[in-house]
Amino acid sequence: MFYIQVSNPRVINCEKQVCNDLFDAAELLFPLFTEKAFMVWNGIWLPIDYKYDLCVILEDILYFLNLIMNDEAGFVKVCFGSDTFQADWNIRWKEDLLEIQSVWNSIHGGKEILVALNNSPNITMSKNQFISEWKGLLSKIVHAIRESGLKFIDQQSYMLLQDLEKKIPQEGCLYNPHFEII
């Protein structure tokens, strides 16, 4: 089981600020004390801090989503490098089947959660459903950037974010009224 709850983080007004690219922006957009997103991995709730985790892992998320969405089959190794969301994922997909083998190294919540994650390291699911789970998070970031007024020197990563978000046809299971978790 894999899904993402995006929550409703506050957004900082950044109208007069310019940053290099999207990955620099994530830390500016969200205050220290705001709601977190949550990834649910085999029933284990993992907080993703919008201010600090997201600015580190967003580049990896866009990279693997771009590959998965544009290739019928493939493999990618992702190494999330945030101190509080640190994991290695080996992602394989073919047609609509996606498998992730993970090793978790560090996470919010302590050793018990880390042990539980590494005792349940694999996920197999529909490729389309996996992609759908990311739409809410990508949408939240796109809307936060628009709301904040932040400007970029390098638009390439922001354009990729917008493109991927638009191409994902449906919301994840928590936000899709036609989806029922069994």
Residue 153 inside a domain? The answer is yes
- Domain containing 99: what range? 2-167
Residue 89 inside a domain? The answer is yes
pLDDT value of residue 109: 86
For residue 149, what is the domain's CATH number? 3.30.2450
- Per-residue pLDDT tens digits for 140-155: 999 999 999 999 999 9
Residue 129 inside a domain? The answer is yes
pLDDT value of residue 23: 86
Q: Do 95 and 77 meet the contact criterion of CB atoms below 8 Å apart?
A: no
Tell me 179's DSSP state: -
Query: How many structural domains is the chain composed of?
Result: 1
Residue 27 inside a domain? The answer is yes
- Per-residue pLDDT tens digits for 24-59: 888 899 999 999 999 999 999 999 999 999 999 999
Residue 173 inside a domain? The answer is no
Residue 180 inside a domain? The answer is no
Its pTM stands at: 0.95
**Strand 151-152 and strand 18-19: pairing?**
parallel
Q: Which long-range contacts (CB under 8 A, 24 or more apart) does 77-83 make?
A: 80/56, 81/56, 81/57, 82/49, 82/52, 82/53, 82/56, 82/57, 83/52
pLDDT value of residue 177: 84
Residue 97 inside a domain? The answer is yes
Q: Do 37 and 137 meet the contact criterion of CB atoms below 8 Å apart?
A: yes
Cα 25 to Cα 18: distance, rounded to the nearest angstrom: 9
- Per-residue pLDDT tens digits for 153-174: 999 999 999 999 999 999 999 9
Residue 181 inside a domain? The answer is no
